[in-house]
Structure 1
């Protein structure tokens, strides 16, 4: 599985866990159905889930006039994934993590999601 697709699947799993309050493994099994799992997707899902509070704290430090609790779930999930990649995945350049989050925001968010995510993540790289 290519990394872009792995990120998309990881986003869908993390989103589903938050929305439906189901177990992570159940969400992974449901999403993948007959498809084999992917190590990068698993790393993202488990890493974001395990470090959620750390990621939220870092995101909160870079928000203006927002709190993490008030963020729409699409944006919150994509920000968590991007920050996790930027901080914990050594072979992914920060700009790649940012661009991937923006691209996924264009698919799963509204017309303002990509700009919002770009703004928050760009502050983190300065």
Structure 2
């Protein structure tokens, strides 16, 4: 499975977990639709679920005049997926690829403002992470 497809399916699974509190396994099974499992898809979904509090804290720091709960479900879960990649997949995926992919996925699944919003929040997260790594 291509990584783009894995990201889209991961978004669908994370969305389903967020909305219906289904299990990770059931959400993955549903999005795979009988197809074989994919390592990167599994890593993304289980990683977001395992690190949800840290991920949400990073997102919340960069929301201006918004709360996480007020975000559109697609935007919130796409941010969770992307921030997971920024935080925990740095050795495997370039930061700009994460942001570009998130913006493109937002154009497909979000509304007309989603891609700009996602780009802005993720750019701020990226800048904060870069500042933190320079200080270390």
What TM-score comes out, normalization by structure 2 length?
A: 0.89
Query: Partner residue of 2:108?
Result: 107
Runs of 4+ in 1 over 3 A off after TM superposition: none
> Per-residue displacement from partner, 1:67-126 (whole Å, max 9, x unpaired)?
112111101101111111011012101111111111111111000000000011111222
Q: Secondary structure at the match of 2:101?
A: helix
The CA RMSD over aligned residues, in Å, is 0.9
Using the alignment, how far apart are the partners of 2:119 and 2:31 within structure 1?
27
State the match for 2:73 in structure 1.
73
Cα distance in 2, alignment partners of residues 21 and 11 from structure 1: 14
- Whether 1:93 and 2:57 are equivalent positions in the alignment is no
Tell me the TM-score normalized by structure 1.
0.96
1:1-126 to 2 correspondence within 5 Å? 1-89=1-89, 90-126=91-127
**Alpha-carbon distance in 1 for matches of 2:33, 2:64:** 40
1:56 is displaced (CA, Å) by: 0.5
- Structure 1 residue runs without a partner (length 5+): none
Aligned residues between the structures: 126
Distance 2:58 2:20 in 1: 25
